[in-house]
Structure 1
Amino acid sequence: MKRLNWGMIGGGEGSQIGPAHRLGAQADGNFILAAGALDHDATKGRAYAQRLGVATDRAYGDWREMLEGERNRDDKVDLVTVATPNSTHFEITKAFLEAGFNVLCEKPMTMTVQEGEEIVKVAKATGKICAVNYCYSAYPMVREMRQMVRTGQLGKVRLIVTNFSHGHHGDATDADNPRVRWRYDPAMAGVSGQFADCGIHALHMASFIAGDEVRTLSADFASTIASRELEDDAMVNFRMEGGAVGRLWTSSVAIGRQHGFDIQVFGETGGVRWRSEDPNQIFYTPVGARTQIIEKGENGLSDEAQRLSRVAIAHPEGFPLAVANIYVDLAASIRGETRDGLPTAADGLRSMAAVHQAVASAKSGGAWVDARPPMFR
Structure 2
Amino acid sequence: MIGGGEGSQIGPAHRLGSGLDGLFEFTAGALDHRPEAGRSYGQQLGLAADRSYGDWREMLEGESAREDRVDLVTVATPNSTHFEITKAYLEAGFHVLCEKPMTMTVDEGEQIVRIAQENKRICAVNYGYTGYSLVRHMRAMVARGDLGKIRLVNAEFAHGHHADAADADNPRVRWRYDPAQAGVSAQFADCGIHALHMASFVTGQEVTKLSADIVSCIASRELEDDAMVNFRMDGGTVGRLWTSSIAIGRQHGLSIQVFGEKGGLRWSQEQPNQLYWMPLNQRLQIIERGETNLSPEADRATRVTIGHAEGMPLAFANIYKDLAEAIRAEKETRPTDPAADLYPRATDGLRSMAAVVAVAKSGAAGGEWVDARPPMFR
- Whether contact under 8 Å (2:326, 2:341) holds in the other structure is no
- Whether contact under 8 Å (1:161, 1:263) holds in the other structure is yes
The match for 1:245 among 238, 243, 258 is 238
Specify the SS of the correspondent of 1:255: coil
- Whether contact under 8 Å (2:28, 2:70) holds in the other structure is yes
Q: Per-residue displacement from partner, 1:140-198 (whole Å, max 9, x unpaired)?
A: 00011001101111110000011000011111212233322222122222111010110
Q: Which residue of 1 aligns with 2:2?
A: 9
- Whether contact under 8 Å (1:164, 1:250) holds in the other structure is yes
Q: Which amino acid aligns with 2:10?
A: I
Identity of aligned residues (%): 71
Q: Which residue of 2 aligns with 1:362?
A: 363
TM-score normalised per structure 1: 0.97
Q: Which residue of 2 aligns with 1:324?
A: 317
- Whether contact under 8 Å (2:100, 2:126) holds in the other structure is yes
Q: How many residues align?
A: 370
The match for 1:254 among 243, 247, 251 is 247
- Whether contact under 8 Å (1:86, 1:190) holds in the other structure is no
Specify the SS of the correspondent of 2:25: strand
The 5-angstrom pairing of residues 147-162 of structure 1 reads: 147-162=140-155
What CA distance in whole angstroms lies between the structure 2 residues aligned with 1:279 and 1:17?
A: 20
Deviation at 1:54, TM superposition (A): 0.6
- Whether contact under 8 Å (1:222, 1:233) holds in the other structure is yes
- Pair 1:139 & 2:132 matched: yes
The 5-angstrom pairing of residues 45-124 of structure 1 reads: 45-124=38-117
Specify the SS of the correspondent of 2:172: helix
What CA distance in whole angstroms lies between the structure 2 residues aligned with 1:45 and 1:172?
A: 34
Specify the SS of the correspondent of 1:32: coil
Structure 1, unaligned runs of 5 or more: 1-7
Q: Which residue of 1 aligns with 2:353?
A: 352
The 5-angstrom pairing of residues 257-336 of structure 1 reads: 257-336=250-329
Q: Which amino acid aligns with 1:141?
A: L
- Whether contact under 8 Å (1:97, 1:122) holds in the other structure is yes
Q: Which amino acid aligns with 1:97?
A: L
Specify the SS of the correspondent of 1:231: coil
- Whether contact under 8 Å (2:207, 2:234) holds in the other structure is yes
- Pair 1:44 & 2:43 matched: no
- Whether contact under 8 Å (1:218, 1:366) holds in the other structure is yes
Deviation at 1:32, TM superposition (A): 1.1
Q: Which amino acid aligns with 1:183?
A: R
- Whether contact under 8 Å (1:25, 1:327) holds in the other structure is yes
Deviation at 1:108, TM superposition (A): 0.6
What CA distance in whole angstroms lies between the structure 1 residues aligned with 2:13 and 2:313?
A: 5
Specify the SS of the correspondent of 1:277: coil
What CA distance in whole angstroms lies between the structure 2 residues aligned with 1:324 and 1:53?
A: 20
Q: Which residue of 2 aligns with 1:200?
A: 193
Q: Which amino acid aligns with 1:182?
A: W
- Whether contact under 8 Å (1:85, 1:188) holds in the other structure is no
What CA distance in whole angstroms lies between the structure 2 residues aligned with 1:302 and 1:330?
A: 20
Q: Per-residue displacement from partner, 1:84-124 (whole Å, max 9, x unpaired)?
A: 11111000000000001000000010000000000000000
- Whether contact under 8 Å (1:87, 1:187) holds in the other structure is no
Deviation at 1:39, TM superposition (A): 1.0
The 5-angstrom pairing of residues 220-231 of structure 1 reads: 220-231=213-224
Specify the SS of the correspondent of 2:314: helix
- Whether contact under 8 Å (2:265, 2:276) holds in the other structure is yes
Specify the SS of the correspondent of 1:115: helix
Q: Which residue of 2 aligns with 1:342?
A: 343
Q: Which residue of 2 aligns with 1:127?
A: 120
Deviation at 1:44, TM superposition (A): 1.3
Specify the SS of the correspondent of 2:29: strand
What CA distance in whole angstroms lies between the structure 1 residues aligned with 2:55 and 2:217?
A: 37
Q: Which residue of 2 aligns with 1:4?
A: none
The match for 1:191 among 159, 164, 184 is 184
Q: Which moved more, 1:319-328 or 1:175-184?
A: 175-184
Q: Which amino acid aligns with 1:354?
A: A
Q: Which amino acid aligns with 1:335?
A: R
Q: Per-residue displacement from partner, 1:57-100 (whole Å, max 9, x unpaired)?
A: 11111111111111111111110000111111000000000001
Deviation at 1:279, TM superposition (A): 0.4
What CA distance in whole angstroms lies between the structure 2 residues aligned with 1:75 and 1:357?
A: 43
Structure 2, unaligned runs of 5 or more: 330-334
Specify the SS of the correspondent of 1:249: strand
